[in-house]
Amino acid sequence: MDKTTTKILFSFDKFVNSEEVIQAAVAVARKSNASLEYVMTDESGAIGSGSGDDVKSNFKLKHGVQLEISNYPGAFWKALAKAAENLAATLVVAGSQPAKPGLLGGGMTSKMDGFTCSILYLNDKTKWVVPTDILMPLDSNSETRQKFFPVSHWAKLFYTNVEVVGLKKSEKGEDAKMSHIYTIQGYNYMIEKGIRVKSTELEASTDIVNALLKHSEAFRNKWMAVLSNAEGVFKISAFQKVCEEATFPLLIVPYHEPIGLGGSGY
């Protein structure tokens, strides 16, 4: 079910620039008129010094936003996912060094398994920006359309442009056909929502991630929407690469297994 944003959680580990994450959390909370809560996990950095009341008072004085703080013991991503479920969060802002995959997979894809809400992700190289553009890459898999609503929601709040980017590995066949169809659907969806939108279909490439990152260089202040599924264009390794190499915020939409077949996808 589509959910608008009413509660935002945020947290950061000790390897990222905390100020970038705080700026992101404050900005999205203001734009969405949402409550803001810091989740302290076993791997989170300190958000301030002194008593909890002092931290909250200083935060409001500095940022003009009311802050709540909750403690969730455990590893960063697991505890944050638990907090998001328990507190009914509709967005999580997370600043973290990318988790590395092991011999049996894992990495960033596995860290998204516990989330049902979107995550605005900043890695250790990310600079916070107020977006003027949100890139929405779409491949030939039907679940790629799960990005439509989250992208439209944040594009409306920040008055951004949306660039629908069609991705394909071949210029012919089902891959090219479905990528084209979903690109058209994504474009039409944004039009229906009253969002400024354009669409681009990239040339076929066996290294779609690099092609996409290169394409993104033309946009100065942007987010990119990515899906955490383990199939299609954003496989474990591809999604991992985006999380590791992006220097801009990623709007991660946790993958949900499609129910049924057919329909427009939105």
One-letter amino acid identity for 16? Answer: V
Decide: residue 114, CB within 10 A, 0-12 exposed, 13-18 middle, 19+ buried.
Answer: middle
Q: What pLDDT does residue 127 have?
A: 95
Q: What pLDDT does residue 36 have?
A: 96
Q: What pLDDT does residue 240 have?
A: 85
Provide the CA 32 distance to its chain's centre, in angstroms. 16
Q: How far apart are CA 221 and CA 219, in angstroms?
A: 6
Is-contact 85 116, C-beta < 8 A? yes
Is-contact 107 236, C-beta < 8 A? yes
Read off the DSSP letter of residue 75.
-
Q: What pLDDT does residue 64 have?
A: 92
Q: How many CB atoms lie within 10 A of CB 171?
A: 9
One-letter amino acid identity for 85? Answer: E
Longest CA span, the chain: 62
Read off the DSSP letter of residue 254.
-
Is-contact 41 72, C-beta < 8 A? yes
Phi, psi of 201 (to 5 degrees): -110, 115
Q: Do domains 7-97 and 133-253 have the same CATH topology?
A: yes
Q: What pLDDT does residue 234 have?
A: 46
Sorted by where each begins, the domain ranges of the chain are 7-97, 133-253
Among the CATH numbers 3.10.580.10, 3.40.50.620, 1.20.210.10, 3.40.50.880, which is that of 7-97? 3.40.50.620
Q: What pLDDT does residue 116 have?
A: 93
Q: What pLDDT does residue 266 have?
A: 32
For the chain, residues with pLDDT lower than 70 are 1-5, 103-105, 230-237, 258-266
Q: What pLDDT does residue 231 have?
A: 54
Mind giving me the DSSP string for 119-172? Answer: EEEE-TT------SEEEEEE-SSGGGGGGHHHHHHHHHHHT-EEEEEE--S-SS
Superfamily of domain 133-253: HUPs (3.40.50.620)
